[in-house]
Amino acid sequence: MTQKSDDVLDYKEDEIEDEGLLDDEAEPDAAALATEEVGNDEVFAKDDSQKTMDATQIYLGEIGFSPLLSAEEEVYFSRLALKGDQAARKRMIESNLRLVVKIARRYINRGLALLDLIEEGNLGLIRAVEKFDPERGFRFSTYATWWIRQTIERAIMNQTRTIRLPIHVVKELNIYLRAARELSQKLDHEPTPEEIAAALDRPVEDVRKMLKLNEKITSVDTPIAGASEKMLLDIIADEKELGPEAELQEADIRQHLVVWLNELNPKQREVLARRFGMLGYEPSTLEDVGHEIGLTRERVRQIQVEALRRLREIVTHQGLNVETLFQE
């Protein structure tokens, strides 16, 4: 069982650049396939390291018993599969399960477990078996790679994002992310938006917007590591809460507010008191204040401006800030 599992992990598949997702019914063109020949009959040297016999290893061991197909066998079984032969279809699928594993391993740490990636890739493999035309002259593994990658990438997009992105946006985002990965290896540090923009010859602002789409969203109910009962919400600062210094300053201002209001003329004092709910009044609109004291709305506004300017001078002279007290 373990030996077969090692063979599966050593399945060879040439490196293929991530170029975004295909549409559900799209077909890879001949030019693209010609540059992506994938070997289906070679294995690398076996890895003798100990492996944990978990569900993944059990699956890998099971699929290792399916023999690979030669080029001639691929043509033979694919022709039968196109005619509806279920046994041939099954043989095509089982013989290429190791290809799915090889491709799925390249998407580890992208938000889905390896078994989930393999499951999605298997759906792409089945799709490839249904659509493969052996008369086009390409190896099946080359053709299937397109469909396997599509289903895996689509699953990552749909299952790991709170907000789903359109396919064309994902394709564009993949270009930026691929450039970022290449630059990080070349520069030995995480590239800045400016460095990515220079490499792609794109505006820096466009790079920032696209990279922002890749930001992960974390639930505030996420448990904090090492704290069994605490959630992320428990330690997030409330931006609406004032700091200690601001609270002390506001308390000092309110304590002296009546004294400062008495330095205004009676009309200014009454307008501010009625507008902002002081001296026993409820907060009112400019129009309501005008009705209550027999002035037009515009005249009330003018008095308010004059009163605030005078009050600001008084408070500023005391070295304090009155702005937050009179926000509408």
Q: Tens of pLDDT along 104-137?
A: 998 887 778 888 999 999 999 999 999 888 888 8
pLDDT reported for residue 101: 92
- Measured between alpha carbons, how far is residue 254 from residues 231, 261, 303, 311 in Å? 36, 11, 21, 13
- Is residue 236 over pLDDT 90? no
**Cα 172 to Cα 151: distance, rounded to the nearest angstrom:** 17
Q: What is the pLDDT of residues 217-233, one digit of tens each?
A: 555 566 665 555 676 66
Assess whether pLDDT exceeds 90 at residue 255.
no
Q: Could you tell me which residues come within 8 angstroms of residue 258 by beta carbon, excluding any fewer than 6 positions away?
A: 279
- What's this model's pTM, rounded to 2 decimal places? 0.45
CATH of 2-160, one of 3.40.50.720, 1.20.120.1810, 2.160.20.60, 1.10.287.610: 1.20.120.1810
pLDDT tens digit sequence for 310-324: 888 887 777 666 555
Q: What is the pLDDT of residues 145-198, one digit of tens each?
A: 989 998 998 888 777 665 667 777 777 888 888 888 888 878 878 889 999 999
- Measured CA to CA, the distance from residue 303 to residue 202 in angstroms comes to 53
Check residue 51 and give its pLDDT. 42
Report how far apart the first and last C-alpha atoms of the chain are (Å, whole number).
73
Reported confidence tier of residue 291, pLDDT bands at 50, 70, 90: very high
pLDDT of residue 89: 92
Q: Is the pLDDT of residue 301 over 90?
A: yes
**Of 243, 244, 240, 272, nearest in space to 257 by CA:** 272
Query: Does the fold of domain 162-236 match that of domain 2-160?
Result: no
CATH number of 162-236: 1.10.10.10
Domain ranges of the chain: 2-160, 162-236, 244-326
What's 244-326's CATH class? mainly alpha
pLDDT over threshold 60, residue 14: no
- Per-residue confidence (pLDDT) for residue 166, from 0 to 100: 74
Q: Which tops the pLDDT comparison, 14 or 211?
A: 211
pLDDT tens for each residue of 39-93: 444 333 334 333 434 777 888 888 877 788 888 998 899 899 989 999 999 999 9
